[in-house]
């Protein structure tokens, strides 16, 4: 894959997604000792960056495949993104979602018109369920991150950020399966080749860090973390080589650091974000001493969180 794939995706999806704002906070700048630029994908359609990849993938389906329908598996944001994009484009969609997915995400997915199939993420394999249903029903499988069209679409968020905040020294992105991080690396190759790109994942789900250190894809058990969008078990065959070849490093953060990042975002910018959405900000706050750079971009990837859960998460103990 090349930066040109991200550029093409930018033009392809322009009519279907928001160009999300970049916000700054003097208090945040003072706390980390750098100028911080927050790319607010929590204000994106369907509440997260995932809609970018969804539209980029579905808009490239041949007519016969589009008419037959698509299937994917997701804990929430990719589910909502595919459901929204498919509904808008007139494509039938089936979504495989875990039983413990946040109900606000399940309800939104159904609300966009998709059929939902539930499973137990700790006892069943979503990839196998998706593959079986795709074969049985003649559906096209659109995975949540390990697909070139998904990666290129997700990279458009970083492409926008790099155009909105020039001269960034560092860009941090959340890391689950690697679609956003890989897309960011591709976007930066041309727009900001000197920028250092970091992925941030939960301590309990450190497969990305392990993979980078081992030089191969490392699989782990489903991690238990409040960052439900990053409960992935491994990087993908498409995403890993891009990350291995272009990421400065992968950082990890605790669940408590995620709660603190949610509180910081709420108090400094008045923005609501989900735990997965603040992974990059938590990485910056946790690893400030090791991240050098005067201008730092942070992708706030999503804001889909039940308000009762949000209140409980940010409450001080």
| Annotated catalytic residue within 25, 39, 41, 75 | 75
- Specify whether 90 is catalytic: no
Domain range for 215 = 3-48+147-314
137-177, pLDDT tens digit by residue?
999 999 999 999 999 999 999 999 999 999 999 999 999 99
Q: Catalytic site residue 207?
A: yes
Backbone torsions φ then ψ of 287, nearest 5 degrees: -115, 30
Which residue in 39, 301, 302, 303 is the catalytic one?
A: 301
Assess whether 109 and 158 both reside in one domain.
Answer: no
Q: Which of 41, 201, 228, 274 is catalytic?
A: 201
User: Does residue 316 carry a pLDDT above 80?
Assistant: no
- B/e letters for 139-164, b = 16+ CB within 10 Å, e = fewer, are bbbbbbbbbbbbbbbbbbbbbbbbee
pLDDT tens, residue by residue, 61-110: 999 999 999 999 987 789 899 999 999 999 999 999 888 887 888 888 89
Under 8 Å between Cβ of 204 and 256: no
Known active-site residue 47: no
- Residue 301 a catalytic site member: yes
- Same structural domain, 181 and 137: no
What CATH number is associated with residue 261? 3.40.50.1100
Given 5, 207, 228, 260, the catalytic residue: 207
Choice among 5, 50, 160, 206 that is catalytic: 50
Indicate whether 282 and 172 sit together in one domain: yes
Residues 14 and 152 occupy one common structural domain = yes
Average pLDDT of 188-216? 97
Is-catalytic flag, 176? no
Q: What is the pLDDT of residues 282-300, one digit of tens each?
A: 999 999 988 989 999 999 9
Q: Which of 51-55, 109-113, 225-229, 301-305 has the highest mean pLDDT?
A: 51-55
Does the active-site annotation cover 75?
A: yes
């Amino acid at each position: 894959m090349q930066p040109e794939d991200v550029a093409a995706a930018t033009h392809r999806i322009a009519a279907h997604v928001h160009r999300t704002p970049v916000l700054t906070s003097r208090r945040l700048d003072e706390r980390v000792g750098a100028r911080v630029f927050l790319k607010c994908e929590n204000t994106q359609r369907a509440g997260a960056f995932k809609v970018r990849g969804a539209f980029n993938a579905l808009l490239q389906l041949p007519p016969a495949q589009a008419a037959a329908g698509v299937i994917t598996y997701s804990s929430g944001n990719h589910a909502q993104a595919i459901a929204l994009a498919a509904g808008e484009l007139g494509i039938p969609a089936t979504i495989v979602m875990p039983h413990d997915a946040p109900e606000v995400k399940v309800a939104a997915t159904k609300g966009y018109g998709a059929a939902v199939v539930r499973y137990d993420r700790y006892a069943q394999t979503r990839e196998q369920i998706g593959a079986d249903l795709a074969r049985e029903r003649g559906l096209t499988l659109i995975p949540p991150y390990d697909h070139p069209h998904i990666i290129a679409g997700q990279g458009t968020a970083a492409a926008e950020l790099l155009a909105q905040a020039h001269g960034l020294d560092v860009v941090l992105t959340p890391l689950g399966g690697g679609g956003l991080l890989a897309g960011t690396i591709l976007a930066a190759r041309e727009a900001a080749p000197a920028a250092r790109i970091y992925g941030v994942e939960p301590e309990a789900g450190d497969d990305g860090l392990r993979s980078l250190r081992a030089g191969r894809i490392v699989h782990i058990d489903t991690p238990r973390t409040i960052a439900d969008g990053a409960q992935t078990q491994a990087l993908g065959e498409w995403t890993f080589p891009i990350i291995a070849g272009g990421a400065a490093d992968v950082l990890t953060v605790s669940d408590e650091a995620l709660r603190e990042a949610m509180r910081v975002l709420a108090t400094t910018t008045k923005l609501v974000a989900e735990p997965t959405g603040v992974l990059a900000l938590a990485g910056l706050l946790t690893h400030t001493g090791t991240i050098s750079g005067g201008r730092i971009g942070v992708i706030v990837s999503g804001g889909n969180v039940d308000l009762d859960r949000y209140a409980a998460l940010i409450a001080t103990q």
